[in-house]
Amino acid sequence: MSSILFFPISMPDETLLSRITRYHFLSGNKTEAETFRDLFDVAPFQLSFIPKQLGNLASRLPGVKESNFNELLEINTYFPAYKPFIGLSKDPSKERDRVLSDVARVPRWEGTKNSRAKICLACVQADIIESGYAYWHRAHHVPGVTACWRHGEELLQSCPNCSHPFFRRNKLLPNLTEDCVCGWNAIKPANRLLASSEEREYAIFVNDILQRNLPSVDYKILAACYRRQAKKRGFVHGNLIGTAKLFSSIRDKFGDDTISKIDLAYAAGIRRQWIRLSTTRGQIDMPLARHLLISLHLFGSAEKFEKCLAEESLLTSSANPTVRLKEKALPESKKKAYREKISILLEVKPGIGMDYLWVNAYQVTRWLNENDKDWLLSEITRGVKQKNSVESVVSDEDEKYATILKEGVENLYRIAQKQVRVNIGNMLALLPRKVSRERATRKSFPLVSEQLELHLESLWHFRLRRMIWTMSEIARLKLPPNSSSLKLLTTVPHVACQALINHFEWDLDNMVKEGIDGEVMLRNTGVSRQWEGPPGYDIPMGGNAYMEMIASNSKL
């Protein structure tokens, strides 16, 4: 791949798209297609904040490709703002692999929604005076930022006279010193609107995070950091973080209008579980703007946030020796009391196992499992042996109930609108009377237990059935087989839908045209009812509700 003769040196806090635009004007290229071929060796494409072809540009610049790639990321994108919040994947052996794995964890939809060009009129004039050229600032484009951190003015995304957008898909940015189609110019005197103090406070915090370029941290460290600081601030609920109190405090501090500008979900009225520490793919399931707003409210400054992350990392790294010391010094009174409780349970219900203890004596079982596991396992094993020595009595209804399950379970597996997963609870609901869910206490129903295990459905097979019904409905209603139709008819996670389509190599257009028989389609997949899913997708997944909210906001 050939090298380019020059590439403009980056201005302070300049976006990559702005730097590419300057190259276009300085190179004298007549068309934007020429510039894309020079820099990326491809036809024009949408330049998101981390372009897919960034590696091509890095390889065409003088020097080492890996160093160029890292430098472009750190100084010309707002990727450094993401790093503390994206978690860690498996630790790659090479630095290049680590950077790529971090980039891959940035939610692409979020970058797309925040790729619109924004300017501060005061910055335009200041840049011309200080640098001789007006350019587009990186700190203005971080998700949620609506004000200039330096001047406190509201950011513009379009011409204030004719509303002509600055950003256009597959196009370079306009020159800030040139007139708009309506004659408006960014360097001419104009009435400027000041943003609220809360919006500027958020913008200043975001800019500080960008400049510090914090390292990626494990999601457990970030979550622990949030919890510790929340408890210091009094946002507690028993021994847990008081998310409701924290949420209320953020609303009181910033107000609904400001939060709506920062967070798209809040603006759409989706506020249930707005603060959540649940994880998906090893990262906390919240968008970047929400992370930044929560961090600002809890820590007050980027400096304190960085310090708390470092302290939490040290505490986490020294956690294992602490646990070992704790195990050596067991509270004898607690151990004695817990042992007695387990002994009584085993005496009253001989033969019970860990599954029963977890349900009926969780706290005791957890403590003993962590601190006195050898004794616990020996007692359970001894109890099972004693139980097995007594001849078990098979219920007279065992064979009858097994037949009911065998016949009824086929109806549960049918492709229909109201589908339920074929699990233990739903299968036992087919029986005329209650039978224990616990295998250890279901010894008198061996044939029933056999049928339950034989017909138990995996999560991925359940998703497959729901996806097939969705496709049959799309064909019946003559809807286009696209993401919008899928989200309209199913709550199967979008990632799972794409995984199924790719794994079975479905041609959705032809399938919809020819019509779909759900039962035949399910048989043709050739997978069992215990199918573990496509390789590489053994990860927790959320639903489509949040993505639907984002789609609706993009139409506003």
* 39, 72 contact by CB (below 8 A): no
Task: Tell whether 34 is covered by a domain.
Answer: no
What is the model's pLDDT at position 59? 93
Domain residues for the domain of 509 are 459-554
Strands 279-280 and 283-284: antiparallel
The C-alpha atoms of residue 337 and residue 347 are separated, in whole angstroms, by: 15
Mean pLDDT of 321-350: 68
Q: Buried b vs exposed e over 485-510: b needs ≥16 C-beta within 10 Å?
A: bbbebbebbbbbbebbbebbebebee
Task: Tell whether 170 is covered by a domain.
Answer: no
Give the bridge partners for 237, in sequence order.
240
The C-alpha atoms of residue 117 and residue 166 are separated, in whole angstroms, by: 6
What is the model's pLDDT at position 555? 37
Are 465 and 527 within one domain?
A: yes
The C-alpha atoms of residue 83 and residue 464 are separated, in whole angstroms, by: 35
Question: H or E stretch including 241?
Answer: strand 240-241
What is the model's pLDDT at position 116? 72
What is the model's pLDDT at position 439? 67
Task: Tell whether 360 is covered by a domain.
Answer: yes
- pLDDT tens-digit profile of 6-25? 899 999 999 999 999 999 99
Are 353 and 413 within one domain?
A: no
Task: Tell whether 253 is covered by a domain.
Answer: yes
Highest mean pLDDT range out of 182-196, 334-348, 375-389?
182-196
Are 375 and 417 within one domain?
A: no
Are 420 and 506 within one domain?
A: no
The C-alpha atoms of residue 410 and residue 126 are separated, in whole angstroms, by: 72
More confident of the two residues 250 and 238: 250
Mean pLDDT of 35-55: 88
The C-alpha atoms of residue 376 and residue 72 are separated, in whole angstroms, by: 56
Task: Tell whether 183 is covered by a domain.
Answer: no
Task: Tell whether 76 is covered by a domain.
Answer: no
Task: Tell whether 96 is covered by a domain.
Answer: no
Mean pLDDT of 472-493: 88
Task: Tell whether 65 is covered by a domain.
Answer: no
More confident of the two residues 324 and 528: 528
Are 429 and 341 within one domain?
A: no
Longest dimension (CA), the chain: 95
| Amino acid at residue number 462 | F
Are 313 and 235 within one domain?
A: yes
Are 516 and 541 within one domain?
A: yes
- pLDDT tens-digit profile of 227-249? 999 999 999 887 788 999 999 99
The C-alpha atoms of residue 192 and residue 147 are separated, in whole angstroms, by: 12
* Sequence-ordered list of residues with C-beta below 8 angstroms from that of 519, at least 6 positions apart, any chain: 414, 415
Q: Residue 321 CB: number of other CB atoms within 10 A?
A: 9
The tokens for 96 are: 């290049």
| Phi, psi angle pair for 26, to nearest 5° | -75, -30
Of 280, 241, 325, nearest to 546 by C-alpha is 280
Are 212 and 247 within one domain?
A: yes
The C-alpha atoms of residue 164 and residue 157 are separated, in whole angstroms, by: 9
Of 47, 53, 69, nearest to 116 by C-alpha is 47
The C-alpha atoms of residue 532 and residue 537 are separated, in whole angstroms, by: 9
Classified as helix, coil or strand, 328 is helix
Are 215 and 306 within one domain?
A: yes
Q: How confident is the model at residue 89 (pLDDT cuts 50, 70, 90)?
A: low
Mean pLDDT of 507-515: 85
* 43, 165 contact by CB (below 8 A): no
More confident of the two residues 150 and 433: 150
When divided into structural domains, the chain yields a total of: 4
Of 389, 411, 430, the residue at which a domain comes to its end is 389
* Sequence-ordered list of residues with C-beta below 8 angstroms from that of 402, at least 6 positions apart, any chain: 445, 447, 448, 450, 451
- pLDDT tens-digit profile of 110-145? 655 555 799 999 999 999 999 999 999 999 999 999
Q: What do you get for the CA distance between the two ends of the chain, in Å? A: 43
Of 298, 321, 344, the residue at which a domain comes to its end is 321
Average pLDDT, the chain: 84
- pLDDT tens-digit profile of 278-314? 887 788 989 999 999 999 999 999 999 999 999 998 8
What is the model's pLDDT at position 96? 55
- pLDDT tens-digit profile of 137-167? 999 999 999 999 999 999 999 999 999 999 8
* Sequence-ordered list of residues with C-beta below 8 angstroms from that of 141, at least 6 positions apart, any chain: 15, 49, 78, 114, 115, 116, 117, 118
What is the model's pLDDT at position 490? 87
Are 378 and 408 within one domain?
A: no
Classified as helix, coil or strand, 474 is helix
Is 168 a residue whose pLDDT tops 60? Answer: yes
Are 529 and 445 within one domain?
A: no
Mean pLDDT of 455-471: 90
In sequence order, what DSSP letters do the residues of 120-165 get, joined into one string?
A: -HHHHHHHHHHHSS---BGGGSSTT--B-TTT-BBPBSB-TTT--B
Classified as helix, coil or strand, 541 is coil
Are 289 and 385 within one domain?
A: no
Entry pTM: 0.60
Length of the chain, in residues: 556
More confident of the two residues 494 and 80: 80
Flag the least confident range among 19-28, 32-41, 533-542: 533-542
Q: Which residue in the block uniquely carries the two structure tokens 């359970």?
A: 380
The C-alpha atoms of residue 538 and residue 536 are separated, in whole angstroms, by: 6
Of 439, 455, 471, the residue at which a domain comes to its end is 455
| Amino acid at residue number 207 | N
Flag the least confident range among 196-205, 222-231, 344-353: 344-353
* 89, 220 contact by CB (below 8 A): no
